Homo-oligomer: A and B are copies of this chain.
């Protein structure tokens, strides 16, 4: 298969970061319309489903196919690029290398064998509540929570969205009323508990976006969605709930 494309460093970084919070290596699926990455973290707690349209690239040339990349190595190379530098990615199939060019610098890295990696199936979930909110606000609630607990509850009612963390004596409560939210579509109150660590990383990966959308149920997985690459890409996370023992 052929893959030979150009993309700005910043856009590539947002792609790598979104997947890199769950796995170190990933399988990239190339189609004539762009790229797709799906991955499940080693503990099988979270899943990412990312698509990037070819509009996110300065140049895009690719056959249908797939190849594996070491996200850590790619992230390291990107540290050498300015935010607007163009990164040239090319598959050298004969030598089984991904060739990364930034200016006069060429970095060749071995392609990761993903022939045994089966595609995770993204479950269709009916999640009754939908909330769109500011990534910055959510991040502040998460940072405050980290001091007192390792999990957070997400709660939505028709009037407001809440992030709640409870310690033995202390608590954190981020409360956003409907007028502060981009969207709040909730019929009945829902509430689920999640690992703070996973949730924090997902929200951090959304930082290049202004807002993100949460799909929530009661004691059910949460689905997080946001755009990357100036709307040319889309990230969906699924995160399993933690059992609440109160």
Contact = CB atoms under 8 A, between A and B. Distances in A.
A105 B141 contact: yes
A151 to B, nearest CB: 17
A7 to B, nearest CB: 18
A234 interface: no
B172 A104 contact: no
Contacts of A108: 170-173
This chain's copy number in the assembly: 3
Nearest to A137: B104
Interface in A124-175: 137, 140-141, 143-144, 147, 169-175
Given A109-B170, A172-B106, A174-B104, A73 B147 contact: yes
B104 A175 contact: yes
A102 B175 CA distance: 11
Interface of A: 73, 76-77, 79-80, 102-110, 137, 140-141, 143-144, 147, 169-176, 180
A106 B107 CA distance: 48
A234 B169 CA distance: 33
A169 B109 contact: yes
Contacts of A171: 106-108
A53 B80 CA distance: 36
Given A73-B147, A144-B80, A147-B73, A170 B107 contact: yes
Nearest to A108: B171
A107 B56 CA distance: 41
A137 B105 CA distance: 9
A77 B141 CA distance: 10
B106 A173 contact: yes
A73 B170 contact: yes
Contact of A144 (B77, B110, B169): B77
Nearest to A102: B140
